[in-house]
């Protein structure tokens, strides 16, 4: 257990479905992140939250919608996804946004059919 | 353009056979370089941070070194449990971006 918990671990969804990914951390960290990891590609930063406020949106399509109700929880709402969105979605946290000693969750393996 | 390149893409070693993984980077200025280990089905696990050329960090059989253009992760007498993908990431000293490489997949054969 790394301190960052992601659910579900696996998700298969159709292109017309709506689903949500959940991330929870009890490390007392102030910053939380969503990353996308695709095969043979570097990790791609999607969103950054600091004290519940979104500080970065890395040109992510609007079919991905983040939500951070408090500094311990982070969600990624998904709707009308494309097959190329299939990937491992990783949540991470750190003490502050400038502190990159991240603690990552185990990820959600998403398959869009 | 800021960039991180890791080599080799994959590496197979016999148990006890020491080797090195490379991470070369091109950034306008380096704030920090980070090494992570990722096991299958899991998220990356933080290993080291290096900040300046000449710096070295060690943890068990792993030693990370840094020059002005690249970092090496040296693995001494590896064991099968060292099998994983090793990721390198750099943080430039301007902006908040954080660039990952594509990783080196290491397999250590008993």
The two tokens of residue A38 are: 């695709």
The two tokens of residue A25 are: 């951390």
The two tokens of residue B30 are: 């380096």
Beta partners for A13?
A112
Q: List chain B residues with CB under 8 Å of A43.
A: 44, 87, 89, 100
**Residue with the larger pLDDT of the pair A69 and A2:** A69
Asked if residues B76 and B63 have their Cβ atoms less than 8 Å apart, the reply is: yes
* Other Cβ atoms within 10 Å of A10 Cβ, number: 10
Q: List chain B residues with CB under 8 Å of A55.
A: 96
Low-confidence ranges of chain B (pLDDT < 50): none
Average pLDDT of the residues in A47-76: 88
- Residue B17 CA, chain-centre distance (Å), reads 18
Q: Which residue of B has its CA nearest to A101?
A: B46
Chain B residues with at least one Cβ partner in A under 8 Å: 4, 32, 34, 36, 41-46, 49, 87, 89, 91, 96-102
Distance CA B18, CA A97 (A): 36
* Predicted confidence band of residue A2 (pLDDT cuts 50, 70, 90): low
Asked if residues A46 and A62 have their Cβ atoms less than 8 Å apart, the reply is: no
- Cα-Cα-Cα-Cα torsion A24, A28, A29, A35, nearest 10 degrees, comes to -10
How far off is chain A from B104, nearest CA to CA, in Å?
A: 10
Q: Which of A42, A97, A108 is nearest to A75 (CA)?
A: A108
pLDDT per position as a tens digit, A6-33: 999 999 999 988 999 999 999 999 999 9
Pairwise CB contact (< 8 Å): A100 & B97: no
Answer yes or no: is pLDDT of A100 > 70.
no
Answer yes or no: is pLDDT of A1 > 80.
no
């Amino acid at each position: 257990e790394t301190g960052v918990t992601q659910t579900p671990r696996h998700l298969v969804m159709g292109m017309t479905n709506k689903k949500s990914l959940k991330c929870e951390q009890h490390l007392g960290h102030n910053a939380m992140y969503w990353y996308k990891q695709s095969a043979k590609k570097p990790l791609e930063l999607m969103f950054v939250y600091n004290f519940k406020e979104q500080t970065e949106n890395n040109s992510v399509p609007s079919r991905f919608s983040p939500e951070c109700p408090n500094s311990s929880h982070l969600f990624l709402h998904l709707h009308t996804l494309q097959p190329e969105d299939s990937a491992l979605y990783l949540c991470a946290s750190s003490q502050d946004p400038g502190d990159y000693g991240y603690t990552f969750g185990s990820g959600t393996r998403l398959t869009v059919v | 353009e800021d960039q991180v390149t890791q080599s080799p893409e994959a590496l197979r070693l016999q148990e006890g056979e020491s080797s090195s993984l490379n991470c070369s980077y091109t950034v306008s200025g380096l704030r920090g370089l980070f090494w992570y280990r990722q096991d299958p089905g899991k998220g990356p696990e933080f290993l080291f941070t290096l900040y300046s050329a000449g710096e070295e960090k060690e943890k068990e059989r792993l030693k990370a070194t840094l020059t002005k253009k690249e970092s090496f992760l040296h693995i001494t007498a590896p064991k099968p449990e060292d099998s994983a993908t090793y990721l390198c990431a750099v943080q430039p000293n301007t902006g908040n971006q954080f660039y990952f490489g594509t990783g080196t997949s290491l397999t250590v054969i008993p």
